[in-house]
Chains A and B, each alone.
Chain A
Amino acid sequence: MKKGGSILSLFILSLSIMGKAQENAGLKLPVGFKASLFANNIGSARHIAITKSGVIFAKLNNPNKEGNSIVRLEDTNNDGVAEKINGLAKYGGTGIYVKGNSLYASSNEAIFKYDLNSKDEVVNPLTPLTVVSGLIDRREHNSKSITLDMANNIYVNIGAYSNACQEKNRMPGSQGMKPCPILDSAGGIWKFDGSKQNQTYKDGKRYATGLRNVIGLDWNTQTNQLFVAQHGRDQLNSFYPNLYTDAQNAELPAETFYAINEGDNAGWPYVYYDPIQHKKIVAPEYGGDSKMEGSAEFKDPAVAFPAHMAPMAVLFYTGDQFPAKYKNGAFISFHGSWNRAPLPQEGFFVAFVPFKDGKATGEWEIFANGFAGMEEGVKVTNTGKAKARPCGLALGPDGSIYVSDDTKGAIFKISYNK
């Protein structure tokens, strides 16, 4: 009898655990928010963009098993799950953006433009216009994220094909090059005209420099300003064990979020931002000793996040569904770290950055967590074991936000219950 009872309670307990795991698609959210699994297994979904009617386009890092690298998803019965899924394009990449009836998408070296019809279907899947081509792709940091301003200018990240601009990349003892020759054609944000065709470097302008690799960027329409999130450098302890312990490397340097003005220089590779000293510190490849302060000419971040968490997308919340505190603030997705090893990894969540009068307050909080699928209180040790890694962010017409995962290709829809 007693035994039967305990088995029954165990059964009930396991049922409730299973029920909990499915609640909110496994995500942990602030009170009043709910999540659904909008789509799954669509391929390595990097950035996502949404049309006015709510159709989602996801850019895949590599073509999926159907051979498509842009996936179109439509929730035809409005139940929070996509029913109609198809795709186009053969080239892998990260960037995607919808502006009016135009769909922009990037490969790792070019930006293309498609036309959408009144049903938000792509009219010319095989014959997009080439907006920009010939952007540098040397494998490391090759993804080309894009955003557009209100005047139809397109901003594209061209990541530095290097960790710290050493003479020999990621080689212990190799000195940093000064000036860093990479910065002529990478390590910054370039600006092009979104309405012109066949542009190359000479038609664009280096809008901001000294940014090692930006994957998340968004135009703030309230302040008419570009905001970018940088992936800070790796391996301070691997290359300079006499200056940095494993524990210090796990916290250095900060992942940084910048309010960018034209001509800004964030200082890579010469300096990095130390979130504990609250200072720009000279990189050891350029003679730094972990304390020497860098030049004031380089820009300070608007927000400094813990190291190595890998910010993947920035989304200013201009919707009306969420509570007032979210209005005009920024969501930032964090892919989750690898370079904190041998210490446990961090990230694998979506953060919220409050804004006041068009400026980041400097604070931040975790908004949505649980993507990695770990048990309560357990951290990811090995990055490859994370079940999902947050990547793209987009705002739906009803004010819900969507988060993509490039591991298996999930898309989560997060809404607020009034």
Chain B
Amino acid sequence: MGNKVEKSIKALCFCIIMILSTNCVQAQNLINGKKIFETRCLVCHQSDGGGVPNMNPPLDGSTNVNGKDIARLVKIIQNGYDERVALDGMYYNNAMTGNPDLKEDAIADVLSYIRNTWSNKAGLVTITEVKKAIIKNKLNKK
């Protein structure tokens, strides 16, 4: 009987630690993501994620940023972007700088940040998802 209670308490503690540490990891991801955003992205996409009309598209409220196609987002972050495509009905003229030097964990962090800041609530992106996306993009290239 006593053993059972002890086991349950242990299990409960384990759960709490897991939840706390996961949250800590998530918070750390977002802090790293914010740092990367501020040094590489803010100047064009602006601190409110609102972009610059006709030149640099907004991240806040963007269908693509909040969407399911992580591979496309990873590709844009790595290679930059320079295509005449309407984004949520608007055209933007500036070419985006690529970030070929960003590591997989950094890409996951910055994606997690931009998908969960301002009005965006699209969920975190894991390193595994980024790795899968990079493989998928390589295969599509071939």
A residues lining the B interface (CB < 8 Å)? 44, 61-62, 139-142, 163, 169-172, 235, 238, 338-339, 341-342, 381-385, 389, 406-407
**7 smallest A-B Cβ distances: which pairs?**
A384-B50, A382-B46, A382-B48, A338-B52, A139-B93, A170-B97, A383-B52
A342:B93 contact, CB within 8 angstroms: no
B84 at the interface (CB under 8 A from A): yes
Q: Which residues of B contact A163 (CB under 8 A)?
A: 95
Closest to A384 in B: B50
Please indicate the chain B residues that have their CB under 8 angstroms from the CB of A238 in the complex.
40, 43, 97
Partner of A170 from B47, B80, B84 at Cβ < 8 Å: B80
Pick the residue among B42, B55, B56, B91 that contacts A342 (CB under 8 A).
Answer: B42
Bound together, the chains give a CA A384 to CA B51 distance in angstroms of: 6
Cβ of B140 < 8 Å from any Cβ of A? no
CB pair A341 B47 closer than 8 Å: yes
Consensus secondary structure, chain B interface? loop
CA–CA, A406 and B55, complex, Å: 13
A170-B94, A338-B52, A342-B43 given; 9 more Cβ-contact pairs under 8 Å: A139-B84, A170-B80, A338-B43, A381-B48, A383-B46, A383-B50, A384-B48, A384-B53, A407-B53
Interface string of B24-58 (1 = CB under 8 A from A): 00000000000000101011101110111111101
Question: Is the pair A338, B50 in contact by a Cβ cutoff of 8 Å?
Answer: no
* CB pair B80 A342 closer than 8 Å: no
Complex contact A140–B94 (CB within 8 A): yes
Contact residues in A for B123 (Cβ distance below 8 Å): none
Chain A residue nearest in CB terms to B40: A238
Q: Given that A171-B97, A342-B38 are contacting pairs, would A383 and B43 also be in contact in the complex, using a CB cutoff of 8 Å?
A: no
- The number of residue pairs between A and B whose CB atoms lie closer than 8 Å in the complex comes to 69
Chain B residue numbers with a CB within 8 Å of A385 are 48, 50
For residue A384, which residues in chain B have a CB less than 8 angstroms away from its CB? 46, 48, 50-53, 58
B133, CB-defined interface residue at 8 Å: no
Contact in complex: A235, B43 (CB < 8 Å)? yes
Enumerate chain B residues within 8 angstroms of A44, measured Cβ to Cβ: 54
Task: Write out the residue numbers on chain A whose beta carbons fall within 8 Å of the beta carbon of B97.
Answer: 170-172, 235, 238
A-B contact pairs, 15 of them (CB 8 A): A139-B82, A139-B93, A139-B94, A170-B80, A170-B96, A171-B80, A171-B98, A172-B97, A338-B46, A338-B52, A341-B42, A341-B46, A381-B48, A382-B47, A407-B53
Tell me if B52 and A169 are in contact (CB < 8 A). Answer: no
Q: Which residues from A are CB-within-8-Å of B80?
A: 170-171
In the complex, residue of chain B having the shortest beta-carbon distance to the beta carbon of A383: B52
Given contacts A140-B93, A142-B93, A171-B98, contact A339 B43 (CB under 8 A): yes
- Most A Cβ at <10 Å: residue of B42, B44, B51, B97: B97
Interface string of B66-100 (1 = CB under 8 A from A): 00000000000000101010000001011111100
Tell me whether B95 and A140 are in contact (CB under 8 A): yes
- Bound-state CA distance A339–B46 (Å) is 9
Give the CA-CA distance A61 to B54 in the complex, in Å.
Answer: 9
Which chain A residue shows the least CB distance to B49? Answer: A382
Question: B8 CB to closest chain A CB, in angstroms?
Answer: 51
The CA-CA distance from A389 to B54 in the complex, in Å, is 12
B133 CB → nearest A CB, Å: 21
Question: By the criterion CB–CB under 8 Å, are A169 and B82 in contact?
Answer: yes
Residues of B within 8 Å of A169, CB to CB, are 82, 95
Give Cα A44 to B54, complex, Å. 10
Report the bound CA distance from A169 to B53 in whole Å. Answer: 20
- Residue in A closest to B53 when the chains form the complex, CB atoms: A384
- A160 nearest CB across to chain B (Å): 12
Given contacts A338-B56, A341-B42, contact A381 B93 (CB under 8 A): no
A406 to B91, CA, bound (A): 14
Instruction: Determine how close the nearest CB of chain A comes to the CB of B96; give it in whole angstroms.
Output: 7
**Residues of chain B within 8 A of A142, CB atoms compared:** 93
Given contacts A139-B93, A140-B93, A238-B97, contact A338 B82 (CB under 8 A): no
Shortest beta-carbon distance from A168 to chain B in Å = 8
Which B residue sits closest to A238, measured CB to CB? B43
CB distance from B52 to the nearest CB of A (A): 4
What is the bound-complex CA distance between A381 and B52, given in angstroms? 12
Q: Is the pair B95, A141 in contact by a Cβ cutoff of 8 Å?
A: no
Nearest chain B CB to A140's CB is how many angstroms away?
A: 5
Q: A338 to B93, Cβ gap below 8 A?
A: no
CB neighbours (8 Å) of A383 from chain B are 46, 50, 52-53
In the assembled complex, the Cα of A62 lies from the Cα of B42 at a distance in Å of: 27
Query: In the complex, what residue of chain A is closest to B96 when comparing beta carbons?
Result: A170
A61-B92 Cα distance, complex, nearest whole Å: 12
Q: Which residues of A contact B48 (CB under 8 A)?
A: 381-382, 384-385
A385 to B118, CA, bound (A): 14
Give Cα A407–Cα B82 distance, bound, in whole angstroms: 23
Task: Please name all residues of chain A whose beta carbon is closer than 8 Å to the beta carbon of B54 when the two chains form the complex.
Answer: 44, 61, 406
Inter-chain contact A141/B43, CB cutoff 8 Å: no
